[in-house]
Chains A and B, each alone.
Chain A
């Protein structure tokens, strides 16, 4: 059996005895060296080190890096950093934090000031580990503390950078806000770079691009005296500032969109159909991101998070609404592409559409008479589209809706995007355990019923119609740059797909949309500018979006307490579109009457800005529009 070990090398262990004797000696000497050193440190120097450990005065201080700037498409800085002053306590021994807080409160009281501290600081301090008592103190407090520093040993003021959001409320849903990393977030992160007390992006771009914006903490090793003052700097690593981010957002246009929506509840998205860049994205009501700078107070947080109007939600990407009549462009495209109709196919509208024993109304009670595709779009005839919907069936319709980018994430660079909903027979069976009813197809064909779209999807679909069929990924970040201007990362425009409709049919729909705004009887006359250069579609969605469950939804509708959502989607200029706009105003009434003027203001602002800017840039790409369309 041992034969297999042919290589076995019988050797004489005595041959090695000398080598092993030497090894024994080497090992003993080595371990002896360690033991002697150990004895030196622990026995001879023990008392000295014990003292040093008790007054461990060498500490490592983290230096927060400056977060990167955020700029708009014209490189105007919209998010900056500013200095804030934090009240910090540096204990020289182990003390109860609560006692220190009481002392500071008593100290403040002498001046009628109060400690603004919502974070639950409890337990004991560690010697020389600074405790932040209050963030972003006011100038009055700063002056008071600096002049009375001796009364409060260990209390020092430290300078820390905080965010300055010059856009305030109007940009908050795009930009987001920053805050101290929470315990949960800390647990999810598995890296050494980040620790308790560090600032991270909590929403919007601040969160989405946090890894670029954050920068790297520096540190310094210092020796401090008993009052916590630095007496000797032992080492220093400079913090590395974060990268700057350039957005596609146009600050001025954003401002105009914000003002156009002022006082209303809803969202507006402005997109460049030539490359999918988002020029403005507004959601109202909003919140002031600057509130989070000093650690938002509990009162403010409760006010924001418990507000029934959800000011923290970015309605432009997370709000899901029935698209109403804006959806008719999809139905028309589907019917054309499937060869079910020609532009000249006519249906008669007497004001209602009969299906079995049910009757579906047209919004125009007296009916539109005989209508072809163009008239049906211009006057938004429901009965015409009921007919198309019935011919197509819900699953075919869903196929085209997806082709327009509905029912799936648009891929915009913002957190918490919702996909909306494109209903199908299979969906209803799986979700509701009920089979699809033909009547529901009829509702779906005018954008009511189960359909849900987000404003950004709507803008993107109209942008695709505007540019002749290219569906872009909505792009909100242009590029990321280092502090020295070196480009770190470019986010190029991304064409996701092409509409599943031939260009000639797209052109027919475009003509209809032009008529909506510019022809007699069109529902979108609010957008009729002297230049006659806007094409769009109104929409009024009858279903209230607030409660998610069916029963709650019914109850709300029946109660009649909520009005319809108003929608408007458009693009301009008609011939060579530069912007596509989607506006949704919640519970406001008819799309043409309410959302139309909002869109009008935005479109006007765009062209006003364009002419007023000294050097208007005109990158003429992607203009695939036929000239014959003018009429």
Chain B
């Protein structure tokens, strides 16, 4: 599989361009949060740049591997990611009351982010093996269910409910895409709702509390309730043109919580206004529609499924996060793709984009 000049020609420059534009906005935005409680550490925006560069390196690695090889080894890769996840459960270190990190030298890494990607690969493998000609029944879906269930349980245990929820949403989106019999869908949906309380007994008290707050932010009026009020004030006060870069009072006066992570869009909307918001929305729409286009025109089914899975994951991230900070969805800890600060998240997203480009550029290569 030698390097082919054809690849360079077929390289999906527009996609990379859109992603880098969004990343640029993200870094600028994190710069504005100017978060440096600890002057000793590197400012966050510099760290985010480091993570993006590292992500680009991983993207290059992914590009050099045919995605079908990844699909072929998908289960093994998924298994390794789950092992890392299990490792964190026992040996990882804890921040913000949640145990989900592995440290490598100076960097720390969240296996749960990687698992989202390996999950998509594994589901793509399964559904491409079984085709999409006819709709699936519950019996057919037991294996994919198992593929998602194992890492899901470990991630819930950490507890990292945002990531767990995202995995579930990606899983359901995949099933709906490949097709499920209507009757089976109803049965699976209702039994899922009935079985959910059973899992309750496996949780510790503080985990239960976390889950309750997750679904009912009113339980923690000082947490999410306060956050949402401040977020809406920040966004609304941005107005049509915004207050200007580094001039967002809600941001600079630290009224706004979790500025670099979950509420990063509020910072942006306060400083850049409706105009900025619309530009960002256009960028995200372009990215998502471009991703679907890659999925649609992939040469093989596995490529279609991977591209679809990655794109739908990004779509849900954008929709849930922005919906949350705009006060129309409950406060669930799901970061905004490419904008929220977070090393593992950025690196894995870059790897995902690498996969998209991979699928995109290989569709031109003639296959026997």
The answer to whether A and B belong to the same complex is yes
Interface residues of A (CB under 8 A from B): 1-5, 7-11, 13, 15-17, 19-20, 23-24, 27-28, 30-31, 33-35, 37-39, 41-43, 45-50, 52-54, 56, 58, 60, 126-127, 129, 186-187, 190-192, 219-221, 234-237
Q: Which residues of B contact A45 (CB under 8 A)?
A: 236
Q: Which residues of A contact B319 (CB under 8 A)?
A: 30-31, 34
Whether B96 and A192, one on each chain, are in contact in the complex, defined by CB atoms closer than 8 angstroms, is: yes
A237 to B219, CA, bound (A): 10
Residue from B96, B220, B235, B281 within 8 A of A49 (CB atoms): B235
Whether B232 and A234, one on each chain, are in contact in the complex, defined by CB atoms closer than 8 angstroms, is: no
A381 to B240, CA, bound (A): 94
Whether B225 and A235, one on each chain, are in contact in the complex, defined by CB atoms closer than 8 angstroms, is: yes
A27 to B234, CA, bound (A): 26
A358 to B220, CA, bound (A): 80
User: How many whole Å from A49's CB to the nearest CB in chain B?
Assistant: 3
A57 to B287, CA, bound (A): 39
Q: Mark B244-268, 1 if CB is under 8 A from A, else 0.
A: 0000011001110000000000000
Q: Which residues of B contact A42 (CB under 8 A)?
A: 235-236, 238-240, 269, 273-274, 277
Report if A24-B289 is in contact (Cβ < 8 Å); known contacts: A17-B296, A187-B40.
yes
Report if A46-B96 is in contact (Cβ < 8 Å); known contacts: A8-B300, A35-B277.
no
8 interchain pairs (CB within 8 A)? Answer: A8-B300, A11-B300, A20-B292, A37-B327, A50-B239, A58-B226, A58-B230, A237-B220
In the complex formed, the residue of B with least CB distance to A9 is: B301
Q: Which residues of B contact A234 (CB under 8 A)?
A: 221, 225-226
A4 to B1, CA, bound (A): 12
Whether B131 and A9, one on each chain, are in contact in the complex, defined by CB atoms closer than 8 angstroms, is: yes
Q: Which of B13-32 contact A (CB under 8 A)?
A: none
In the complex formed, the residue of B with least CB distance to A44 is: B236
A72 to B326, CA, bound (A): 55
Interface: B191 (CB within 8 A): no
Interface: B295 (CB within 8 A): yes
Whether B129 and A23, one on each chain, are in contact in the complex, defined by CB atoms closer than 8 angstroms, is: no
Q: Which residues of A contact B220 (CB under 8 A)?
A: 237
User: How many whole Å from B96's CB to the nearest CB in chain A?
Assistant: 7
User: How many whole Å from B352's CB to the nearest CB in chain A?
Assistant: 17
A10 to B301, CA, bound (A): 7
Q: Which residues of B contact A31 (CB under 8 A)?
A: 281, 284-285, 318-319
Whether B68 and A5, one on each chain, are in contact in the complex, defined by CB atoms closer than 8 angstroms, is: yes
Whether B236 and A48, one on each chain, are in contact in the complex, defined by CB atoms closer than 8 angstroms, is: yes
Residue among A53, A186, A234 with the most chain B CB within 10 A?
A: A53
Interface: B72 (CB within 8 A): yes
User: Chain B, interface size: which category?
Assistant: 35 or more
In the complex formed, the residue of B with least CB distance to A15 is: B132
In the complex formed, the residue of A with least CB distance to B363 is: A13
Q: Mark B329-363, 1 if CB is under 8 A from A, else 0.
A: 00000000000000000000000000000000000
Q: Mark B169-197, 1 if CB is under 8 A from A, else 0.
A: 00000000100000000000000000000
User: How many whole Å from A181's CB to the nearest CB in chain B?
Assistant: 12
A224 to B229, CA, bound (A): 15
Q: Which residues of B contact A35 (CB under 8 A)?
A: 277-278, 281
Interface: B137 (CB within 8 A): no
A221 to B221, CA, bound (A): 8
Q: Which residues of B contact A60 (CB under 8 A)?
A: 222, 226
Residue from A13, A23, A49, A192 within 8 A of B232 (CB atoms): A49
A575 to B131, CA, bound (A): 89
In the complex formed, the residue of A with least CB distance to B220 is: A237
Interface: B237 (CB within 8 A): yes
In the complex formed, the residue of B with least CB distance to A219 is: B222
Q: Which residues of A contact B129 (CB under 8 A)?
A: 7, 9
Whether B304 and A11, one on each chain, are in contact in the complex, defined by CB atoms closer than 8 angstroms, is: yes
Q: Which of B203-243 contact A (CB under 8 A)?
A: 220-222, 225-226, 229-230, 232-240
Whether A23 and B222, one on each chain, are in contact in the complex, defined by CB atoms closer than 8 angstroms, is: no
A3 to B72, CA, bound (A): 13
User: How many whole Å from B251's CB to the nearest CB in chain A?
Assistant: 10
Report if A52-B177 is in contact (Cβ < 8 Å); known contacts: A7-B129, A9-B300, A38-B277.
no
User: How many whole Å from B19's CB to the nearest CB in chain A?
Assistant: 17
Interface residues of B (CB under 8 A from A): 1, 37-40, 68, 72, 95-96, 128-129, 131-132, 177, 220-222, 225-226, 229-230, 232-240, 249-250, 253-255, 269, 273-274, 277-278, 281, 284-285, 288-289, 292, 295-298, 300-302, 304, 315, 318-319, 322-323, 326-328, 367-368
In the complex formed, the residue of A with least CB distance to B282 is: A31
Residue among A8, A24, A219 with the most chain B CB within 10 A?
A: A8
Top 10 closest A-B pairs, CB basis? A49-B236, A235-B221, A53-B237, A46-B239, A42-B274, A41-B236, A49-B237, A9-B301, A50-B237, A37-B326
In the complex formed, the residue of A with least CB distance to B178 is: A19
Q: Which residues of B contact A220 (CB under 8 A)?
A: 222
Q: Which residues of A contact B250 (CB under 8 A)?
A: 53, 56
User: How many whole Å from A251's CB to the nearest CB in chain B?
Assistant: 37
Whether A34 and B302, one on each chain, are in contact in the complex, defined by CB atoms closer than 8 angstroms, is: no
In the complex formed, the residue of A with least CB distance to B95 is: A190
User: How many whole Å from A37's CB to the nearest CB in chain B?
Assistant: 5
Report if A38-B222 is in contact (Cβ < 8 Å); known contacts: A24-B289, A127-B253.
no
A7 to B305, CA, bound (A): 14
A45 to B295, CA, bound (A): 39
User: How many whole Å from A16's CB to the nearest CB in chain B?
Assistant: 6
Q: Which residues of B contact A15 (CB under 8 A)?
A: 132
Residue from A23, A41, A54 within 8 A of B235 (CB atoms): A41
Whether B255 and A34, one on each chain, are in contact in the complex, defined by CB atoms closer than 8 angstroms, is: no
A192 to B37, CA, bound (A): 12
Whether A11 and B232, one on each chain, are in contact in the complex, defined by CB atoms closer than 8 angstroms, is: no
Residue among B132, B237, B281, B302 with the most chain A CB within 10 A?
A: B237
Q: Which residues of B contact A126 (CB under 8 A)?
A: 253-254
In the complex formed, the residue of B with least CB distance to A45 is: B236
User: How many whole Å from A611's CB to the nearest CB in chain B?
Assistant: 49
Q: Which residues of B contact A19 (CB under 8 A)?
A: 177
A24 to B367, CA, bound (A): 29
User: How many whole Å from B106's CB to the nearest CB in chain A?
Assistant: 15
Report if A20-B296 is in contact (Cβ < 8 Å); known contacts: A9-B302, A42-B277, A127-B253.
yes
A39 to B239, CA, bound (A): 9
Report if A47-B233 is in contact (Cβ < 8 Å); known contacts: A11-B301, A20-B295, A34-B323.
no
In the complex formed, the residue of A with least CB distance to B321 is: A34
User: How many whole Å from B9's CB to the nearest CB in chain A?
Assistant: 20
Report if A23-B292 is in contact (Cβ < 8 Å); known contacts: A10-B300, A35-B281.
yes
Whether A46 and B238, one on each chain, are in contact in the complex, defined by CB atoms closer than 8 angstroms, is: yes
In the complex formed, the residue of A with least CB distance to B234 is: A53
Report if A38-B269 is in contact (Cβ < 8 Å); known contacts: A56-B233, A235-B226.
yes
A56 to B252, CA, bound (A): 13
Whether B304 and A30, one on each chain, are in contact in the complex, defined by CB atoms closer than 8 angstroms, is: no
Q: Which residues of A contact B297 (CB under 8 A)?
A: 13
In the complex formed, the residue of A with least CB distance to B366 is: A2
A15 to B328, CA, bound (A): 35
User: How many whole Å from B259's CB to the nearest CB in chain A?
Assistant: 14
Whether A186 and B37, one on each chain, are in contact in the complex, defined by CB atoms closer than 8 angstroms, is: yes
Known: A7-B72, A35-B281, A56-B255. 14 other contacts (CB 8 A): A3-B368, A11-B300, A11-B301, A27-B289, A30-B319, A31-B284, A38-B235, A42-B240, A42-B274, A53-B237, A54-B249, A56-B250, A58-B230, A126-B253
User: How many whole Å from B83's CB to the nearest CB in chain A?
Assistant: 25
